[in-house]
A and B are shown apart, each in its own frame.
Chain A
C-alpha cells in the first residue's frame, strides 16, 4: 500500500461522494466560496495576461526596427507603462496571492473556507473594475511615465491618464491588502488539529511569507501614490522640485513597496513548485525546514533591499554599499531553495507531465535571472547597466521564467482538482516547448543589448542594435503563439476533458483527499493526517524479511522490529497442555 493510498483511506470519511460541478453562472456572482473566488481570480488574471501580452507584442513589433514607425513615441511610452502595470498588478499578483492562494490554502490546511469569506469576495470584486478603469485610460491617453511613474515626468505627461493610473493602483493595492490579511489569519488560526506549522505544506509557508510582505509594504505604496496624486491634482510639492520637493523621496517610498512586490510575485510560485516537484518525482521534498525558513528569510530581507533600484539616483555611498550587501545576501536563501528542489528530483522517479516540465523550466530560467540579479547587485556594474535592457532581461527571467512558468505549472497540476477534469498532456508538452524556446530567444539577447549600450523605455534606438532586436522580436512572436495551445487546451478540457478523480497524481496533501472539484465546505468531516505532506517512499518499499507469515507490501504483516510476527513462541502457553513447559517468559 503506497503512502497515497494510506492517506486516502484514512480520509475516506472526509470527502463526500459527489464532486460539485458548479453552474458557470456562479462564477459571475458575489460568491463567498473560496474555490469560486480562486477561479474568478485566475480567469480574470489570465484575461489581463492576454491584454498585457498583446501590449508586449506591440512593443516588440515597434522595436523590430530602430525608428518609431509603428506608433508615435508617446503612444509607445503608454504601451510599456500599461504593459508593466497590467502584468504586475492585474496578472501575477492576483494569480498567485489571489487565485492559487485562495483556492488551495483552506484545502491544504483542512479548513472549510477562509477566515473572512465575505472580505475575500470583496477583495476579488475590486479587481475587475480597477482593471477596467486602467484600460479605460486608453480613451483619454494613458499614463506614459513607466510603471514606476517617477516624478517630475509623471506630473507632466498625460495627467488624466496618470490620475486614472494612480486610482487604479490604489484600488488594486487595497484588494491585495485585504487578501493578504485573510491568508495570514487563516493560516495561523484555521489549520486542522494535528497540523502544526512544521506539518504545513510548503505552499502555506510561502503564503505566510507573502502575506506578511503584502500587509507591511503595500500601505507604503498607497502613501506614495496619494502624495503623487496630491502633487498631480492639487498643486502640492512633495516631489516637485519647482516647489521645493524631492523626487528621490518618491523613489524611496515607491521602491519600499515595489521591491517586496517582486517577492510577493515569486514566493507563491516557489511554494507551488515545492508542492509539484515531490509529487511528480515521487520523492519527499529535500530540506523541508530549510525551504520553509528560507521563505521567511526572503520575506524579511526583501524589505531591506529597496534602494538597489536607486544606485544611480542621488544616493550617498553608504546607502549604496548597505543595499548592495543586503541584496547580495538575499541570494543565499534563494539558492537554498533551488538546490533543494534539484536534490528532490535527484534519485526520484520523475514523471515528465506538463506540470513537472514547467516546474523544471522555472528552475532552469529562474536561475539565470537570479545570477544576473547578483550581478546587478554589485554597485559598479549596476552603474553601467541600470535602466538598460540588461535589467529588462533580468526582470523577465525572474518574472516570466519564475512567476509565469510557475503559474503554468500550478495550473497543469491543480486543474484536475479545480475543474474535475484532466488537461491534455500532449498539448501541454507542445505549450511548454514553444514557451521555453520563445522565452529564451526573446530575452537572452537583451542582456547583451543592455551591456552594449541600449537604454530601456526607448521607442527609437541606435541602428547598431537592429539585429539583436530583431531576434528578440521573432522570439516574442513564438511566445505569443505559444499561448494558443494552452488556451484551447484549457477551454476544451474544462468542458469535455476526461474526469479526473480525487487524486490523479497520487499526492499526499489534503486538497487531494476530497472530491474533484471539492464540495461546498470542502470536507464532510475534518480530515486527518495519516502521513506527512511529503512522506513518499515510506511503506511501499517491499523489503522481504525472513519472518514466517510476513508479507512485505502490507503494513500489518510487514514484520517490522516490534511486529508480533517476530515474537518467539512462549512454551508456557503452548496450545497442547503436554507441550507446556516452565514459567511464561512473556510475563513480568
Chain B
C-alpha cells in the first residue's frame, strides 16, 4: 500500500518536530548555570537549538532525498520540468522565518531585561546618563543608586554593561567589587572590606556588582557559568551585576585578545555561603593587616629543606613511603 505523499510529509513533519523538541532540551552542551539569569539564557539557547535542529534536519533531509530520488537516470539527457516558482510557497518560506526571528528577538529582549540589561545606570548613552545624573532628582531609581553626587567633570562615562535586574533597579548591590584587568591577570579589589585578591569570592544569593576596568589594553571578564562577559576598557569603567545561586568553584577567563598570554589570563570564581564568604574576607584582612611580611606568606620557601619543599609535590604524584621502598628494593636487585 502506497502512502499518499501528503500523509508521509505530515509524518515526517511530526517526527522532525518531536526530535527537535527533544534535542533542544536535552543536548547537554551547556556548562552548569550558576545563577537564575544564567538559567534564563540557557532557556533561550534551548529554544534556538530546537528551531535550529528542525531547520537543519529539513535542509539536510531535502538534500539527501534529492540525491537519491531526483538523480538523473542513466541515458536520460532531457530537461526537468520547467517550474520557475510558486508564489504561495515563497511567501510561506519568507513569512515563517520572519515570524521565527521576530519571536526570538522578543524572547531575547525579555531575557536581556531580566538580566538587567536595561538598568538605566548601566545601559544608556554616556551623554544621556550624564544629563539625567545632573538633572533634578526625579525618579527614585537614579537618586537612590548615587551614594554621593557624581561631579560631571569627573565621570565622563557611566559604566556600561549589564546592570541590576528589574526587581533590583534603584538599590545598590549587596557586594561591590572593583575588577582590574591587566596583562595578564585579574585583580579584585573588595571595596567594602578593603582587601585585594587574585580570586573572586562572592556570597551566594546576594547581589554582586563588578566594576570593571583595565590598565593597559582591552580585556574581557568572562564568567562562563554565569553566562556573563564584559569588556574591560582602559579609561572607561564598565560593569556587570548579578546574583549567583549555585555554590561552587568556577573558572574566570579573559575573552578579548590582550597579548601573548591571553590564554593564560585565568582566575577562579568562588560562590560561597555567606558564612564562608565572611570567614574568607576575615582571613584576607588578617593577612593584609599583618605588619610582619614573613607571616603574611603561608610558608617561606627559602627556609625549607629540599625534602620539606618537595613533600607536597611528591604527595600530589602519589609517591609515598611504600612506593619509595619498592623502588629502593628493585634498584638494589639490579
Hey, which bits of chain A sit against chain B, CB under 8 A? 2-3, 68, 72-74, 76-77, 144-146, 150, 152-153, 156-157, 241-242, 244, 246-248, 281-290, 312-318, 320-321, 324-325, 328-329, 331-332, 335-336, 338-340, 342-343, 345-352, 360, 363-364, 367-368, 371-372, 374-375, 378-381, 383-384, 386-388, 447-448, 451-453, 455-462, 506, 534-538, 540-541
Decide if B101 touches A336 in the complex (CB within 8 Å).
no
A338 and B48 in contact (CB under 8 A), knowing A347-B83, A350-B66, A380-B115?
no
Decide if B29 touches A282 in the complex (CB within 8 Å).
no
Category for how many chain B residues contact A: 35 or more
Question: How far is B258's CA from A42's CA once the two chains are assembled, in angstroms?
Answer: 35
Chain A residues with Cβ below 8 Å from B98 are 329, 332
**Can you give 7 A-B contacts (C-beta < 8 A)?**
A145-B257, A150-B257, A283-B82, A312-B255, A328-B101, A346-B62, A350-B67
The 3 tightest CB contacts between A and B, nearest first, are A458-B263, A241-B235, A317-B123
Decide if B162 touches A73 in the complex (CB within 8 Å).
no
A541 and B89 in contact (CB under 8 A), knowing A314-B231, A317-B123, A374-B101?
no
Question: How far is B234's CA from A457's CA once the two chains are assembled, in angstroms?
Answer: 20
Within 8 A of A (CB), among B247-306: 251, 253-264, 266
Say yes or no for B44: interface residue by CB 8 A criterion.
yes
Chain A residues with Cβ below 8 Å from B63 are 342, 345, 360, 363-364
Chain B residues with Cβ below 8 Å from A325 are 105
Decide if B90 touches A284 in the complex (CB within 8 Å).
no
Contact of B52 among A285, A350, A374, A536 (CB under 8 A): A374
Report the nearest B residue to A376, measured CB to CB: B48
Report the minimum CB–CB distance from B45 to chain A (whole Å). Answer: 5
Chain A residues with Cβ below 8 Å from B84 are 284-288, 534
Decide if A312 touches B231 in the complex (CB within 8 Å).
yes
Interface flags, B27-70, vs A, CB<8A=1, else 0: 00111000000001100110010001001100110110011001
Report the nearest A residue to B227, measured CB to CB: A384
Chain B residues with Cβ below 8 Å from A346 are 62, 66, 70
Decide if B67 touches A352 in the complex (CB within 8 Å).
yes
A378 and B233 in contact (CB under 8 A), knowing A145-B257, A287-B90, A368-B56?
no
Residue among A72, A74, A324, A335 having the largest count of chain B Cβ atoms under 10 Å: A335
Say yes or no for B80: interface residue by CB 8 A criterion.
yes
Decide if B263 touches A459 in the complex (CB within 8 Å).
yes
Chain B residues with Cβ below 8 Å from A338 are 59
Report the nearest B residue to A81, measured CB to CB: B257
Decide if A378 touches B104 in the complex (CB within 8 Å).
yes
Chain B residues with Cβ below 8 Å from A283 are 79-83
Decide if A538 touches B90 in the complex (CB within 8 Å).
no
Question: How far is B257's CA from A157's CA once the two chains are assembled, in angstroms?
Answer: 11
Chain B residues with Cβ below 8 Å from A281 are 70, 80
Chain B residues with Cβ below 8 Å from A340 are 90
Report the nearest B residue to A310, measured CB to CB: B231
Decide if A535 touches B82 in the complex (CB within 8 Å).
yes
Question: How far is B231's CA from A313's CA once the two chains are assembled, in angstroms?
Answer: 5
Choose the segment among B133-141, B188-196, B212-220, B321-329 that binds chain A (4+ C-beta atoms closer than 8 Å): B212-220
Report the nearest A residue to B110, measured CB to CB: A380
Chain B residues with Cβ below 8 Å from A284 are 82-84
Say yes or no for B5: interface residue by CB 8 A criterion.
no
Decide if B112 touches A153 in the complex (CB within 8 Å).
no
Report the minimum CB–CB distance from B247 to chain A (whole Å). Answer: 19
Decide if B108 touches A2 in the complex (CB within 8 Å).
no
Question: How far is B216's CA from A457's CA once the two chains are assembled, in angstroms?
Answer: 18
Report the nearest A residue to B108, measured CB to CB: A378
Report the nearest A residue to B92, measured CB to CB: A339
Decide if B29 touches A286 in the complex (CB within 8 Å).
no
Chain A residues with Cβ below 8 Å from B23 are none
Chain B residues with Cβ below 8 Å from A157 are 259
Chain A residues with Cβ below 8 Å from B258 are 153
Decide if B108 touches A324 in the complex (CB within 8 Å).
yes
Question: How far is B24's CA from A219's CA once the two chains are assembled, in angstroms?
Answer: 43
Report the nearest B residue to A73, measured CB to CB: B260
Report the minimum CB–CB distance from B187 to chain A (whole Å). Answer: 18
Chain B residues with Cβ below 8 Å from A329 are 98, 101
Decide if B123 touches A371 in the complex (CB within 8 Å).
no
Chain B residues with Cβ below 8 Å from A290 are 85, 90, 94
Chain B residues with Cβ below 8 Å from A72 are 260
Chain B residues with Cβ below 8 Å from A287 are 84-85, 90
Decide if A537 touches B31 in the complex (CB within 8 Å).
no
Report the nearest A residue to B160, measured CB to CB: A314
Residue among B76, B85, B218, B263 having the largest count of chain A Cβ atoms under 10 Å: B263
A328 and B78 in contact (CB under 8 A), knowing A247-B234, A346-B66, A451-B30?
no
Chain B residues with Cβ below 8 Å from A541 are 78-79, 81-82
Say yes or no for B124: interface residue by CB 8 A criterion.
yes
Decide if A348 touches B108 in the complex (CB within 8 Å).
no
Decide if A387 touches B79 in the complex (CB within 8 Å).
no
Decide if B31 touches A452 in the complex (CB within 8 Å).
yes
Decide if A386 touches B234 in the complex (CB within 8 Å).
no
Decide if A378 touches B117 in the complex (CB within 8 Å).
no
Say yes or no for B97: interface residue by CB 8 A criterion.
yes
Decide if B233 touches A374 in the complex (CB within 8 Å).
no
Contact of B80 among A76, A347, A363, A384 (CB under 8 A): A347
Chain B residues with Cβ below 8 Å from A461 are 263
Chain B residues with Cβ below 8 Å from A452 are 29, 31, 224
